[in-house]
Amino acid sequence: MAAASSLLSEDQFLCSICLDVFTDPVTIPCGHNFCKTCITHHWNINGQTQCPVCKKQIDRRPELHVNTFISEMAARFRQSVKIKASSSSQQHRADTGEVLCDVCTETKMKALKSCLVCLASYCETHLERHQRVTGLKIHTLIDPVENLESRVCKKHERPLELFCKTDQTCVCQFCTESSHKLHQIVPLIEEYEGKKAKLGKTEADVQQMIQERRLKIQELKQSVELSKETADRVTTASVQVFTALIQSVEGSLAELIQTITERHNTTEKHVEGFIKELEEEISELMKRSTELKQLSHTKDHLLLLQSFTSLIPAQPTKDWTEVRVHSSYEGSVRTAVSQLEETLSKEMKKLCVDLEVKRVQQFAVDVTLDPETANPHLILSDDGKQVSYGDVKQNLPDNPKRFLCYSVLGKQSFSLGRFYYEVQVKGKTAWTLGVARESVIRKGRITLTPEYGCWSICMMNNIVYAVASSPVHLSLKSEPQRVGVFVDHEEGLVSFYDIDAAVLIYSFTGCRFNEKLRPYFNPCHNNNGRNSTPLKICSINQAD
């Protein structure tokens, strides 16, 4: 049978009415063959039973039965043509990437349209019947695509031209009258446009996540570098002190160095693990980004909708915003100190404060004085680094920013992280230093305590106090010559250090800042010249 069908030409399997391969072929009394639907429709329109080919009049409309032989031959022919065309098309598509005509038997021409009813693609020549024959004009034509079977409803064998928003799936017209009845149905093109618009935002979100992870990698790498610098600094300081001690404490020194090194190694391993996770997430996100970019440029409605859900990235499984690497080695030093004999306690305590000061000094900022906030009696240097009390009140505009008391703020404000600055108070008999909220009260009789937004220490009558609702008397062995001020927003901490004596003077803990902070200075009255020395903002490690 196959050999016989291969000897027949395409014309012998075409209905002379629809010009397509026979569907349910029937034979009329004159011997000519037609599609059952075509000849029935032809007779109904013309109102007489006449053969469209030989024009022979048939006295009475015959009862039509499908010619099973011709039907089988037509089916075999249709299948052989389809296989041959598919093989040729696949080869050519592999070579050119184009969608080719499924009807061309020799040289495959580029397809102009694809038919969702016939499930075939047609070049300009073979598309002509769909533009001319009435029965074919109602077929749904789209821009040429491959895999037409995937664009047809498997249940109803109708084109997927609609989208069910209720079930988020593509459906045909028959689906809307059965399983998707009463669902929210929209045209495919409408949903396509909506999803395509979302793709752009999704791709932008993916890019943002990639950028955030790259920045996190940089932050973690910087944390490792900072950890290494801190470890080196602690190790060096420890060696300098311990080597000056007697032979009996050498074991403590080795243990301290080992603890610091191990803690750094642990920190480094943790960071390496974080970086590896981030790089894996970036790789996956970049892959997703590429797919989204490709999809966002497609004009294929169905492909976009079918791929949309799978390409929308899920929320990251890990929130990297809270991942931090904190390097702190003072605890190890203090542990070593507690194990030493009582005779070594003084040296070890000094070592601890030295290390703490060096740690906070890495957060040093450049501070200058803000003349708009200065009391008219205060004299500021041209470089904004010194302030002293002047007996003569200056003629300055009384703006809301200006203090009524002998105070001035720094120009710089800080709302996050940590910052540190140092002030020389040598030669003064009275002064106040600290930090204040930007909104701190500046007029009237006020006490600049934490309740009013100011955290400071002061010296009056050779006694140093922490300024609070109840002043805290601080017992110091000597008057500070240079004071360091350190603020940690996250910890709610304000600490003051005597730099020369390597002593922690006082710390305010559990602070609630709520807004930006600015350095605060009060040189106090000059006391008949006995307190005329200015407060001087120092560069870190600057000599007196």
Q: Which residue has the tokens 């470890």?
A: 231
∠ CA 233-239-243, nearest 5°, is 160
**Residue 366: CA atoms inside 13 Å, Cβ hemisphere, count?**
2
Tokens of 158: 């109708």
- Of the candidates 68, 105, 81, 80, the one whose C-alpha atom is nearest the C-alpha of residue 2 is 80
From residue 422, how far is each of 455, 540, 542 by CA, in Å?
15, 7, 10
Residue 436, beta-bridge partner list: 454, 518
Instruction: Determine which helix (DSSP H) or strand (DSSP E) holds 346, and give its type and residue range.
Output: helix 345-361
Residue pLDDT tens, the chain, 544 long: 444 444 556 667 788 887 778 888 999 988 899 988 888 888 888 878 889 888 888 888 888 888 888 888 888 887 776 666 555 555 545 444 588 888 887 778 889 888 877 778 899 888 888 888 877 888 878 888 887 777 778 887 777 889 999 999 999 888 988 889 889 999 988 888 888 888 888 888 899 999 999 999 998 998 888 788 878 877 877 777 676 666 556 777 777 788 888 888 888 898 898 889 888 888 888 888 888 888 888 888 888 888 777 766 655 667 777 777 776 777 777 776 666 665 566 666 677 777 788 888 889 999 999 999 999 999 999 999 999 999 889 989 888 899 989 999 999 999 888 999 999 999 999 999 999 999 998 887 767 899 999 999 999 988 999 999 889 999 888 899 999 999 999 899 999 999 988 889 999 999 999 899 999 999 999 888 899 999 999 988 643 4
Tokens of 448: 């600049």
Q: Are 151 and 116 in contact (CB under 8 A)?
A: yes
Number of H helices, E strands in the chain: 10, 21
What residues contact 396, with CB distance under 8 A and at least 6 apart? 374, 376, 402
Q: Report pTM.
A: 0.45
User: In whole angstroms, what is the distance from residue 356 CA to residue 334 CA?
Assistant: 11
* Residue burial 511-521, b: 16+ Cβ < 10 Å; e: rest: bebeeebbbbb
From residue 273, how far is each of 291, 388, 390, 462 by CA, in Å?
27, 53, 59, 54
SS3 state of residue 75:
helix
